[in-house]
Amino acid sequence: MLEAIIFDMDGVLLNSEPIYFEVEKALFQKLGLDISAAQHETFVGMTMPAIWKIIKTENQLDYSLEQLVEFHKKGIYRRFLEAEDLKPNPGLFSLLDFLKQMDFRMAVASSTNRELVEIILKKLNLIAYWQSFTGGDEVNLGKPQPDVFLLAAQKLAVAPQKCLVFEDSKNGVLAAKAAGMKVIGYQNSGSGRQDLSAADAIISNFRDMDKIKKILAQKGE
């Protein structure tokens, strides 16, 4: 019986992954790193420390992991704080209103730091929809490990198997499934070529209510 809906933020609530790609690509170039587009796309859904741990292992860098994460964090924060063009993905408000009317508990669980999650949600006028927020900085292991989703469920006081997740990345889908949750994959071209095949259903926009309602209908199982 589904009781809660958990949304990833970047790529799901808004088409923000191109902003991350832009900032990260500039940082890669500044550090003299040759990161292919294909490899860059595999980082979608991962925390900053996890990304830089991989990059540092594969490349000779004079900077510490902590320094690299700080460079990344500063660039991302600056870009989002200055952004005036952030918009929620089409159909999101209608979906959230629908879920609210059905009395689902709702949360955001993102690999992004919780502080930035709240900054972005305020900019989108979405802050009032959620019972809780969970950021990647609140767990030891990021996606594709299930920790962020398990903590989100714990904050909602809902068992993991009673949660449905909306995710746009392969890492996020695998994390939600590892948490024992149902998953709707949100196919966003801005997130790169993501393999969402492990999801229970895949949609390309929030107006595809037939697929969404089909999963929600399992509320009675």
What would the pLDDT profile of 105-122 be if each residue is shown by its tens digit? Answer: 999 999 999 999 999 999
* CA–CA distances in Å: residue 156 to residues 59, 120, 150, 160: 40, 21, 10, 10
Q: Which two tokens stand for residue 63?
A: 């900077």
* CA–CA distances in Å: residue 21 to residues 2, 26, 127, 177, 179: 34, 8, 25, 26, 27
pLDDT of residue 218: 74
Interval 135-160 mean pLDDT:
97
In words, the CATH class of domain 4-14+86-220 is alpha beta
pLDDT of residue 184: 97
Q: Which residues contact 214 (CB under 8 A, 6 or more apart)?
A: 201
Please check the confidence at residue 22 and state whether its pLDDT lies above 90: yes
pLDDT of residue 116: 94
Length of the chain equals: 221
Please check the confidence at residue 58 and state whether its pLDDT lies above 90: yes
d(CA 68, CA 79): 17
Interval 93-99 mean pLDDT:
96
For the chain, the average pLDDT equals 94
pLDDT of residue 1: 86
The residue among 41, 48, 45 whose CA lies nearest residue 75 is 48
pLDDT of residue 62: 92
Interval 175-200 mean pLDDT:
96
pLDDT of residue 221: 44
- Domain assignments of the chain as residue spans, ordered by start: 4-14+86-220, 17-82
DSSP 88: B
pLDDT of residue 217: 84
Query: Does the predicted model carry a pTM greater than 0.85?
Result: yes
